[in-house]
């Protein structure tokens, strides 16, 4: 399958990747092109900005969660019927697991998917030094795949001279510059960027920014680079699942919390659940008083319950119904913010205690710094998960909150490190803890959950 594609990367976080990616996506959309977008790594917020631009769900591609075959399959599946695929990198181009490897880096994603990379260089405080800076990134790995650069925060007066110098010294295309554009900057908070719906006049600002990029970037040359990406071979992943006909005829309804408080959702997780026979039914613990009818399972993903603590507490009807369903044996998976919501109490951003669902004994509380941040491999210490042996699962943690009762049924191990800890509450019908799961990393977890939901429905 021929997929024109490129990856936008940088030397470090804070270099303008997300804003420039969104601006380019908008410019391509304005040209009438249909783009698929992807974020490298376990990020929830940046894909929301891509989705806001395109009106279609952005996806994640992560080489820690998935092997080469799966990553290429997901790229192919999610770029079908699109004119181009645009990937946004994570952190610095070579920054990977453990701080000393390229595993799960943007470079590894470019390498595994054979995607041309474009380096965004934040030129603030630099002029001639950008030449050796770019050279270092391009030559650090023989197969760096860096084919072009975009010079960010650069004066148009200096651009022509710098472009000439770079192209004289390096075999890399200079694809234009981005002038200082403070009015378009995206604000941040404790878990990263604010959400796109919180940016005032986001669409209007983005259109203005895209018009600037049409003038300052050589988008035609960028598209030529994308068109040189090699084909992705056609392969189907061989996951064990119920027969397709049975799943379509007898779907099992799984409620997924989706609102401002619970919004950290991998779209491919939902896609895999549907493939396995789930009918996804959204509901809002913030705005709705009752669960949807006929549910056989619940998913409470992460997000910002701490920003809506009192509103979640005030919705007593929803909390009581969720508690009753779980106590009655309805299968549930809850992670991070969803796990906090299941506690007896959880703190909001002002450190005020708010009543939760009451399934997890104890209190979730705010801490001054990130707790247990990064990739992990989690393994059930004893017994099965939802009645099945699933083996270990790749996962990810990223939170400023902790709990007096994190659970001890799984063990989490940091890759490239001796550090590990116990985590997660696991019973015959519950898996709840701080780790986030990406189901394509171990589809047996999703399969066991859907099977347990089907058993609950049949009872």
82 annotated active-site? no
Residues 6+ apart with CB under 8 A from 293: none
Q: Give CA–CA dist 276/264, Å, rounded.
A: 21
Q: Where are the alpha helices (DSSP H) in 55-155?
A: 68-78, 106-113, 130-139
Burial tier of 379 (Cβ tally within 10 Å: 0-12, 13-18, 19+): middle
Q: Give CA–CA dist 27/32, Å, rounded.
A: 9
Q: What is the DSSP letter of 388?
A: B
Of 53, 54, 70, 50, residue with least CA distance to 62: 70
How far are the Cα atoms of 4, 107, 209, 455 from residue 8, in angstroms, in the given order? 14, 10, 17, 45
In the set 66, 82, 263, 336, the catalytic residue is 336
Residues 6+ apart with CB under 8 A from 349: 306, 307, 309, 366
Helix pair 17-30, 202-216: axis angle to 10 deg: 80
- Strand, coil or helix: what is 113? helix
Of 81, 71, 1, 12, residue with least CA distance to 38: 71
Active site residues per annotation: 336
């Amino acid at each position: 399958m021929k997929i024109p594609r490129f990856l936008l990367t940088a030397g470090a976080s804070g270099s303008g990747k997300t804003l420039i990616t969104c601006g380019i996506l908008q410019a391509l959309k304005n040209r009438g092109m249909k783009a698929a977008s992807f974020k490298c790594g376990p990020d929830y917020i940046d894909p929301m900005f891509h989705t806001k631009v395109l009106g279609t769900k952005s996806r994640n591609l992560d080489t820690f969660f998935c092997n080469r075959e799966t990553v290429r399959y997901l790229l192919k599946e999610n770029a079908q019927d699109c004119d181009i695929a645009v990937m946004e990198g994570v952190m610095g181009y070579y920054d990977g697991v453990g701080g000393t490897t390229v595993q799960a880096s943007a470079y590894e994603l470019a390498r595994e998917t054979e995607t041309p990379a474009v380096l965004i260089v934040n030129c603030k405080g630099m002029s001639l030094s950008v030449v050796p800076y770019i050279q270092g990134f391009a030559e650090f790995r023989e197969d760096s795949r860096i084919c072009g650069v975009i010079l960010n925060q650069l004066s148009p007066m200096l651009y022509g001279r710098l472009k000439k110098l770079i192209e004289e010294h390096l075999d890399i295309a200079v694809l234009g510059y981005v002038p200082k554009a403070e009015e378009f900057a995206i604000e941040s908070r404790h878990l990263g960027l604010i959400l796109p719906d919180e940016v005032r006049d986001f669409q209007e600002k983005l259109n203005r920014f895209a018009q600037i990029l049409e003038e300052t970037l050589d988008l035609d040359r960028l598209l030529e680079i994308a068109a040189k990406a090699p084909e992705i071979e056609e392969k189907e992943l061989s996951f064990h699942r119920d027969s397709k006909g049975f799943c379509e005829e007898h779907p099992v309804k799984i409620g997924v919390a989706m609102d401002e408080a619970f919004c950290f959702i991998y779209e491919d997780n939902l896609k895999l659940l549907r493939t396995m026979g789930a009918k996804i039914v959204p509901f809002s613990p913030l705005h709705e008083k009752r669960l949807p009818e006929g549910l056989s399972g619940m998913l409470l993903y992460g997000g910002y319950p701490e920003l809506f603590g009192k509103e979640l507490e005030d919705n007593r009807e929803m909390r009581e119904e969720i508690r009753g369903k779980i106590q009655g044996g309805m299968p549930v998976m809850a992670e991070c913010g969803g796990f906090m919501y299941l506690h007896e109490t959880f703190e909001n951003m002002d450190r005020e205690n708010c009543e939760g669902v009451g399934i997890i004994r104890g209190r979730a509380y705010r801490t001054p710094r990130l707790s247990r941040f990064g990739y992990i491999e989690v393994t059930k210490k004893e017994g099965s998960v939802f009645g099945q042996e699933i083996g270990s699962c790749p996962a990810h943690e990223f939170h400023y909150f902790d709990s007096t009762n994190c659970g001890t049924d799984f063990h989490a191990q940091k890759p490239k490190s001796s550090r590990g800890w116990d985590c997660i509450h696991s019973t015959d019908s519950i898996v709840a803890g701080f780790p986030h799961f990406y189901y394509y990393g171990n589809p047996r977890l999703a399969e066991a959950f859907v099977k347990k939901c089907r058993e609950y429905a049949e009872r």
